[in-house]
Amino acid sequence: MLKNDLLLRALAGESLTRPPVWMMRQAGRYLPDFMKLKAKYDFFTRCQTPELATEITVMPIDQIGTDAAILFSDILVIPQAMDIAVEMKDGVGPWLPNPIRAAKDVANVVVPDVTDRLHYVFEAIKQTKKVLDNRVPLIGFAGSPWTILCYAVQGQGSKNFDLAKSFCFSQPEAAHQLLQKITDTTIAYLKQKVAAGVDVVQLFDSWGGMLGEDDYQTFSWQYMQQIIDALKSKTKVIAFAKGCWFALPIMARSGVHALGIDWTCSARNARYLSGGQLTLQGNFDPARLLSPIPEIEKLARKMIDDFGVQNYIANLGHGILPNVPVDHAKAFVNAIKSYNS
């Protein structure tokens, strides 16, 4: 039995005296101990070595005191397992040397045996669960098929993912074939993650906000819905689609257990658009962690005032920035934990 099950209780809609809190990318670059490992091991070594992934995953539990752990990994392990080469380039970030640009490229993409290709992830989950020793729940995650397509086609990060969108708009059949292959792989992957021991899964649609309302349904949401349908009876599912306020009414009716909210969508708008009942997660502006500590504490309390204590998970509205001082991150988490006490 979990000693701290606040996250699971918020996802179940139970009545709480304060919301649970965790931070997207909490197992990352703002932590000095993480930087030491980063200096010694390259990105994929850290992902693919269960001992390292476990050590990094547990860091924010020990050092910051969040109410949940999220497995250290990357959304791009999925295209890598599908035989789409992925590298991490200094100063560039993700770099895919053979991007997908035509139907024949899609034909070469495999739907792999995830048990074989991603065994290191499942092993990391098992080791992490042991080290966590039921202190807090463990979250597993995957990127949305659209977000994975963005990288697979564009070949790197982008301000507007113009090549990815161009591919979808000029070769929709090939795009849908690729999205379905990613979806099938992701469903198998997340089922295995649940079998290995994660308590919750979160889907990240980081680039959904690049699409208009109709195109979002066509190229992103229908595949997110397939994943939710396949997982929702097996585990708790959180869906986070950055910039997709316009889709919240449809997302709220999908069967997910919670929706992530970014900082451009106020608590009032998020509650209104999602129908008022569903558990919401977010939405502190990550750059606001660069404010002075008293301001962080004030804004964190205001965030709970605005969302309400019930049906709510305190979090950032996107990943924590690398230049956030550790004591600022702690002040944010502690302001949430001391609410109502």
CB 287 → a copy of itself: shortest distance, Å? 4
In this structure, the dihedral spanned by the alpha carbons of residues 166, 172, 178 and 182, taken in order and rounded to 10 degrees, is 90
Residue 140 or residue 209: which is nearer to a copy of itself going by CB?
209
Is residue 288 close enough to count as binding a copy of itself by CB under 8 A? yes
Long-range contacts of 41-49 (CB under 8 A, 24+ apart): 42/88, 43/74, 43/88, 44/88, 46/72, 47/72, 47/73, 47/74, 47/77, 47/120, 48/120, 49/120
16, 290, 293, 326: which one binds a copy of itself (CB under 8 A): 290
Residue carrying the six token digits 């390292």? 52
Q: Which stretch binds a copy of itself (CB under 8 A): 71-79, 115-123, 136-144, 285-293?
A: 285-293
Is residue 317 close enough to count as binding a copy of itself by CB under 8 A? yes
Calpha distance 101→99 (Å, rounded):
6
170, 173, 233, 341: which one binds a copy of itself (CB under 8 A): 170
Q: Which stretch binds a copy of itself (CB under 8 A): 6-14, 33-41, 206-214, 234-242?
A: 206-214
Question: What helix, strand, coil percent values describe the chain, rounded to 5?
Answer: 50, 15, 35
Residue 122 or residue 240: which is nearer to a copy of itself going by CB?
240
- DSSP 8-state assignment for residue 298: H
Is residue 213 close enough to count as binding a copy of itself by CB under 8 A? yes
Calpha distance 209→213 (Å, rounded):
9
Site for a copy of itself in 133-162 (CB under 8 A): 157, 159-160, 162
74, 87, 215, 297: which one binds a copy of itself (CB under 8 A): 215
Residue carrying the six token digits 């010694």? 40
CB 146 → a copy of itself: shortest distance, Å? 14
Q: What is the largest CA-CA distance in the chain?
A: 60
Strands 93-95 and 87-89: antiparallel
CA angle 264, 238, 333 (to 5 degrees): 65
CB atoms within 10 A of CB 108: 11
CB 24 → a copy of itself: shortest distance, Å? 13
Residue (of 254, 221, 235) closest to 141 by Cα position: 235
Is residue 309 close enough to count as binding a copy of itself by CB under 8 A? no
Q: Which stretch binds a copy of itself (CB under 8 A): 23-31, 75-83, 146-154, 263-271?
A: 263-271
Is residue 246 close enough to count as binding a copy of itself by CB under 8 A? yes
Is residue 99 close enough to count as binding a copy of itself by CB under 8 A? no
Contact residues for a copy of itself (CB under 8 A)?
157, 159-160, 162, 165-166, 169-170, 209, 211-213, 215, 243, 245-246, 263-266, 269, 283, 285, 287-288, 290-292, 295, 317, 321, 323
